[in-house]
Structure 1
Amino acid sequence: MRILIVGAGIGGMTLAALLKQRGIKPTLIERAPNFDHAGYMLGLWPLGYRVLHGLSLYEQFAAECIECKHYEVRDNHGEIVKNWSMGSISNRFGANLSCTRPQLIKLLHAGLGDTDLRFNTSFESLQQEGEEVEVTLSDGSSETFDLVVGADGLHSKVRTLVFGEQPYYHTDWGGWVWWVDLNSVPQETFVEHWGAGRFFGVYPTRDGAGVYAGAPVMGEFDQQGAGRRERICEQFAGMGEIVDTCLAAMPDDDESLFFWKLSDVRSKEWAHGRVVLLGDAAAGFLPTAGIGASMAMESAAVLADELSRTNTRFLEHALSLYVKRRKHRVESTQNDSRHLAKMMFIKSATVAHIRDVATKFYSLEQLAGSIAKAFDEPI
């Protein structure tokens, strides 16, 4: 079976590693020149990382991670609103493991072996003819495949060319990302300050703690260069000691920082003929629930499973089964991440106060219902 995977992200590389294990060697193309800028921090639930057991990569992965044992929400002034123990989930299903995206990408890359991975390569066009897909690559060459998997992220070119423009969900918030020394912030705890017109999160990994400082995208908040540090410090002043420590460690204005606009996307269709979408290309996730990477890995496992039980003649039926197994589950958890965004990102001080009072009475399972339920559902 000749398979092209477009995008060497978490979903695409998980799929490639699983297919290789089943004796199918896909071709994997990645438009970036390398993995040097593979991203920042992420949390991985057992929904996703249990796939690594089958690839004999779990023990190495777990050894490189920090277990998130607590999830703590603070208010606009740094006072604790709620501290949830993750024990109710970790004792039954497995821990939430915090790592960096480059760590996970490197690990998955090691599991690919001699898989045909081509950096600096994208595609120009896709043409389906009968039971084949002809692909024109960025170097001008053309190759023919039985299946093309679009795993090329939130702004998927495969999705746009095959399924047309799909609606994005915009929060109209965005934020700055940087690293601080792990010893200067709480460890084994994800700490988030849910403010009024501002949000500040700190997420520990073994390589340091990732910081996300978010607010409505307006004025000069998202501007690089001179004055950036002063604007950010002013925006998040008075949020407490943890925030002050992170602000003091912010890089100077002449260093580039990543600005992350918080949007997601949902494709109405996932499969057409012999082209199928995977991960963020099918349904992108806001980072609010920390579930996007887990969903991509779980989807890769299901797609690999269906492909391993078919041949090229009945490939399209296998893709339809993959969509039936995944689409509702993924969209339900995506809805939860959107719901959490509405709770976290509030402009009004009055509404934020009401939110904080209500949050004191939430259980972790109530906070993200579909996600909690997904732990105990088959895929």
Structure 2
Amino acid sequence: MRILIIGAGIGGMTLAALLKQRGLQPTLIERAANFDHAGYMLGLWPLGYRVLHGLGLYEKFAADCVECKDYEVRDNHGELVKHWSMAPIADRFGPNLSCTRPQLVKLLHSALDGVDLRFNTTFQSISQTGDEVAVQFSDGKIETFDLVVGADGLHSKVRQQVFGEQPYYHTHWGGWVWWVDPAQLPRETFIEHWGAGRFFGIYPTRDGAGVYAGAPVAGEFGEQSPGRRDRIRAQFGGMGELTDTCLAALPDDSEDLFFWKLSDVRSREWARGRVVLLGDAAAGFLPTAGIGASMAMESAAVLADELSRTNNEFIEHALSLYVKRRKHRVESTQNDSRHLAKMMFIKSATVAHIRDVATKFYSLEQLASSIAKAFDEPI
């Protein structure tokens, strides 16, 4: 079975590792030249990292992670609104583990020994004829495959070319990301300040605490221009001692910071012929629930499972079963992420106050009902 995976992200590499384990030899292409800029912080629920048990990678992964034992929401001025212990979920299903994206990418890469991984490679066109998919690469070379998997992220070129334009969901918020020395911050607690017209999240990892400072995208907010550091400090000042510590660590204006616009996408179709979408290419996630990477890994496991129980003749049927097993589950958790975004990202001080009062009565399961339900549902 000749399989091309486009995109060496979390979903693409998980799928490649699982297929290799089953005796297949996929081809994996990645537009980046290497993994030097692999991203920032991410959290993995057991929904996703269960896959690592099967690959023999879990123990190594867990040893490099920080367990999120507590989750706190604070208000616009840093006062505690609600504290949730993660123990009820961790004790039954497994902990929420926090790492850097480069850590997970490096770990998955270690499972791809012998896989045809081509960096600095993109494609120009995809065309299907009968039981084959012809792909023209960026160097002009054309190769044929039995299956092409688009795992090329939120702004997927595979999705756009094969399935057409799909609806994006825009929050019209964005935020800056930077790293802070974790010694000055709580080690095993995710802390989010749900303000009025501003949001400030602190997420510990082994190598440092990742910070996300978000607000509506307007004016100079989001500009890599002189005065950036002063503008960010002014925007998020007065949110409490923890945010002040993080703001003090803001890099100088001369250093590039990553600005993350908060949007997602949902493809109406996931499979057409012998081309299928995986991960963010099929349904992208806002970072609000920390569930996107877990969903991508889970989807990779299901796709690998279906492909292991078919042959070249019936690939399209296997893809239809993959979609039936995944689409509703993924879109339900995507809805949870969108719902959380509406709670977190509020401009009005009055509405934010009402939200803070209501949050005091939420259980963790109520906050993300589809995600909580997914722990007990088979896939």
Partner of 2:272: 272
Partner of 2:301: 301
Tell me the distance in 1 between the aligned counterparts of 2:314 and 2:127: 19
Partner of 1:35: 35
The residue matched to 2:94 in structure 1 has which SS? coil
Residues 207-243 of structure 1: CA deviation (Å, up to 9, x unaligned): 0000000000000011113100010000001000000
Which residue identity does 1:344 align to in structure 2? Answer: M
Tell me the distance in 1 between the aligned counterparts of 2:247 and 2:185: 12
Residues 99-148 of structure 1: CA deviation (Å, up to 9, x unaligned): 00000000000001110000000100001000000000011101000000
Residues 337-364 of structure 1: CA deviation (Å, up to 9, x unaligned): 0000000000000000000000000000
The residue matched to 1:50 in structure 2 has which SS? helix
Unaligned runs of 5+ in 2: none
Partner of 2:313: 313
Residues 162-206 of structure 1: CA deviation (Å, up to 9, x unaligned): 100001000000000000001111110000000000000000000
Is residue 82 of structure 1 aligned with residue 52 of structure 2? no
Moved over 2 A (4+): none
**Mapping of residues 94-109 of structure 1, within 5 Å:** 94-109=94-109
Residues 268-292 of structure 1: CA deviation (Å, up to 9, x unaligned): 0000000000000000000000000
Which residue identity does 1:118 align to in structure 2? Answer: R
User: RMSD across aligned C-alpha pairs, in angstroms?
Assistant: 0.3
Partner of 1:287: 287
TM-score (norm 1): 1.00
Is residue 154 of structure 1 aligned with residue 146 of structure 2? no
The residue matched to 2:196 in structure 1 has which SS? coil
Partner of 2:24: 24
The residue matched to 1:169 in structure 2 has which SS? strand
Is residue 353 of structure 1 aligned with residue 353 of structure 2? yes
**Mapping of residues 221-370 of structure 1, within 5 Å:** 221-370=221-370
Which residue identity does 1:312 align to in structure 2? Answer: N
Report deviation, 1:38: 0.3
Which residue identity does 1:149 align to in structure 2? Answer: V
- The alignment of Structure 1 onto Structure 2 pairs a total of residues equal to 379
Tell me the distance in 2 between the aligned counterparts of 1:141 and 1:52: 35
Which residue identity does 1:364 align to in structure 2? Answer: L
Partner of 1:70: 70
The residue matched to 1:114 in structure 2 has which SS? coil
Identity of aligned residues (%): 83
Unaligned runs of 5+ in 1: none
Which residue identity does 1:55 align to in structure 2? Answer: L
Tell me the distance in 2 between the aligned counterparts of 1:259 and 1:149: 28
Tell me the distance in 2 between the aligned counterparts of 1:277 and 1:286: 18
